[in-house]
Structure 1
Amino acid sequence: MAELRNCPMCQEFFNYTGLREVCHKCAQKEEDMYQVVYRFLRKRENRAANIDRIVEATGVERDLLYKWVRKGRLHPATFPSLGYPCDNCGHLTTKGKLCDKCQGELKADLRTFEAAKEFREDVVRRDRGTYHSDKR
């Protein structure tokens, strides 16, 4: 069932069905901008263009470029200088929400936490020995 929402770009009401985050008019504008960017990137000399160069040459907003890369419309395999910001540090990444460095740090922190947890459990197990009371 559709839900009535305001378009985040133009503030007009539209029926949100889960397919698009913006109204039909703004979605069409985004699609037109995507075609401009795609035509720009298809030229051999522009395939290695970075985000700043694409924004400068096409006038498309940086957030839209990030959105298209995140959704897979612009593939970093084809255009190697593209990416979107890591949710943690802001460096460009091409997959997931975190860059490789932040993923590595998170995994290391988890390993440290698990090792500390195991150590605490071992200490508790050792301390649960049999105790005798001295009642005479």
Structure 2
Amino acid sequence: MGEIINCPTCNNIFMKNAFRDVCEACFREEERQYDLVYNFIRKRENRTATMLQVTKATGVPETLIYKFIKHKRLQVSQFPNLGYPCDQCGELIQKGKLCETCQTSFNQQVNKLKEAENRKAEDLKNQQMRTYHTFDNKDRK
């Protein structure tokens, strides 16, 4: 069973479920706008349209088109100039959450952290292996 929440678009109360994150009225409006976008970009001459061209021609906000792409309702493989912003830098991407540059940077940072942890563990291991024995010369007679 879903939870009762306010619609993020119109602020009406509705029962949220796994399929919808907006109320019924907003969902119908989103579907209408999806049809506008899809009918526009499926025409041969509009398949290479940019996000700006699609929003100007249809009047549908970019954020809603991003939502359609993220929910895989619009297949960006068929529309090469459409995408959604990278979570880190905002560059338009077509898959994942990060662009290639941010992904590379993220991986480098993770590798540096792993190397630092490995060095720290190695230093700790080396410190534990050093054992010094001392004795008093008076006891050695």
Q: 1:131 matched to which residue of 2? A: 132
User: How far does residue 81 in structure 1 lie from its aligned partner after superposition?
Assistant: 0.8
Q: 1:91 matched to which residue of 2? A: 91
Residue 94 of structure 1 aligns with an amino acid whose one-letter code is: Q
Residue 49 of structure 1 aligns with an amino acid whose one-letter code is: A
Q: 2:23 matched to which residue of 1? A: 23
String of CA shifts for 1:94-135, please: whole Å, max 9, x gaps.
Answer: 122111111111101111111122122222222221211233
Which is greater in Rg? 2
CA RMSD in angstroms comes to 1.2
Residue 5 of structure 1 aligns with an amino acid whose one-letter code is: I
**Aligned partners of 1:133, 1:70: CA distance in 2, in Å?**
68
**Aligned partners of 2:76, 2:96: CA distance in 1, in Å?**
13
Percent identity over paired residues? 40
Greater shift, 44-53 or 90-99, is seen at 90-99
Q: 1:64 matched to which residue of 2? A: 64
The aligned length equals 136
Structure 1 runs not aligned, ≥5 long: none
* TM-score (ref. length: structure 1): 0.93
Matches within 5 A, 1:1-136: 1-128=1-128, 129-136=130-137
* TM-score (ref. length: structure 2): 0.90
